[in-house]
Amino acid sequence: MNPVKPGETPRTPWIVGVSGASGTPYAAAVLRGLLDAGESVDLVVSRASRLTLLDETGISFRDAHWQDDLREWLARGADGKPGTFVPDIDAVRHWSAGDLAAGPSSGSYPAKGMLIVPASTACVAGVALGLSKDLLQRAASVTLKERRRLVVSVRETPLNGQTLRHLVTLDDLGAAVVPASPGFYAGATHIQDLVDFVAGRVLDAAGVEHDLYRRWKGDLGGSRTTDN
């Protein structure tokens, strides 16, 4: 378990927002990485992302049964195979996306920061413009105003000029923009490796330790070795 730092409470979570962009395996990998690192998580799953999750995994994410649904989701590999992981979700607290009175809607609620993964272009626009139309966007606005760390993993291609300007705005506001763009130097041999690379870069931007991918060591051809 990570030590409590000055200004933090015994439970000072990372807020994880999941928007409606394709890429729910990225969100699952980030959540597993946070939990494996001993971090607490406050989870906000947007209405649009529930449709994407259903389409990509066949899992219905329901507020009344969120623990069962989350456990099933995090147990799946990026290839859709169930039972690939054995997640421990005891450190997760779920907030409904429509609950604007939830803890993360206030700056006085303790949080380390927020990770939005995947981030749709609509979500990027809403956060950049400060719309706060749901809890996900409101929590992101709170994260920015409180000068906490915000990581936005945009998952869209191609990007038009309007979205690029919104991303520059987020960068100017202090957010880290981490495109869901996997690298291949880590020696990926499976789709899970590519997903974990992106998740690892998101966690790197948040300053959370992990072992999700093999880091570059300056050795050309290292990705073809078995030494990870």
CB neighbours of residue 37 within 10 Å? 16
User: Structure pTM?
Assistant: 0.92
Place of tokens 């859709």: 80
pLDDT in tens, 45-87: 999 999 999 999 999 999 999 999 999 999 999 999 999 999 9
pLDDT in tens, 101-144: 999 999 999 999 999 999 999 999 999 999 999 999 999 999 99
Report yes or no: 180 and 194 within 8 Å, Cβ to Cβ. no
**Residues 107-130, buried b or exposed e (16+ Cβ, 10 A)?**
eebebbbbbbbbbbbbbbbbbbee
Place of tokens 């990581």: 151
Distance, in Å, from the CA atom of 77 to the CA atom of 89, rounded to the nearest integer, reads 16
**Position 9 confidence tier, pLDDT thresholds 50, 70, 90:** low
Q: How far is CA 168 from CA 118, 155, 158, 172, in A?
A: 18, 16, 16, 6
The alpha carbon torsion through 51, 52, 53, 57 (nearest 10 deg) reads 110
- Give the CA count within 13 Å in the CB-facing half-sphere of 18: 28
